[in-house]
Amino acid sequence: MNAELFTWARETAGLDLETAAKALGIKTGTLERIEQGGREPSRPQLLNMAKVYRRPLITFYLDKPPARGERGEDFRTLPPDRTQADDAVLDALIRDVRGRQGLVRSLAKDEDEAKPLGFIGSATMTDGADAVLASIKKTLGLDITEYRRHSTSEKAFAYLRGQAESAGIFVLLMGNLGTHHSAIAVETFRGFTIADRFAPFIVINDSDARTAWSFTLLHEIAHLWLGTSGVSGVRGISAEKTIERFCNEVASAFLLPAGELADLPVSSDTAPARAIELITLFANRRFISRRMAAYALLRAQRIDRTTWQRFDDEFARLWKKEKATQKAKDQQSESGPSYYVVRRHRLGTALLGFVERSMGAGALTPVKAARVLGVKPRSVYPLLMPATATRLDRDSARG
Instruction: Please state whether beta strands 230-232 and 73-74 pair in parallel, antiparallel, or not at all (unpaired).
Output: parallel
- One DSSP character per residue, 19-73 reads HHHHHHTS-HHHHHHHHTTSSPPPHHHHHHHHHHTT--GGGGGSSSPPPPP---E
For residues 202 and 172, what is the distance between their CA atoms, to the nearest angstrom? 6
Helix (H) or strand (E) holding 231: strand 230-232
Check: CB of residue 101 under 8 Å from CB of residue 192.
no
- Return the pLDDT at 335: 61
Instruction: Name the residue among 380, 377, 349 with its Cα closest to residue 159.
Output: 349
* Lowest-pLDDT range of 40-44, 80-84, 205-209, 294-298: 80-84
Largest Cα–Cα distance in the chain?
A: 70
**CA angle, corner 188, sides to 186 and 189, nearest 5?**
65
Split at pLDDT 50, 70, 90, the class of 334 is: low
* Domain definitions of the chain by residue range: 4-61, 74-255, 260-327, 339-398
So what's the architecture of 4-61 in CATH?
A: Orthogonal Bundle (1.10)
The model's pTM: 0.82
* Lowest-pLDDT range of 89-93, 94-98, 116-120, 367-371: 89-93
For residues 70 and 68, what is the distance between their CA atoms, to the nearest angstrom? 6
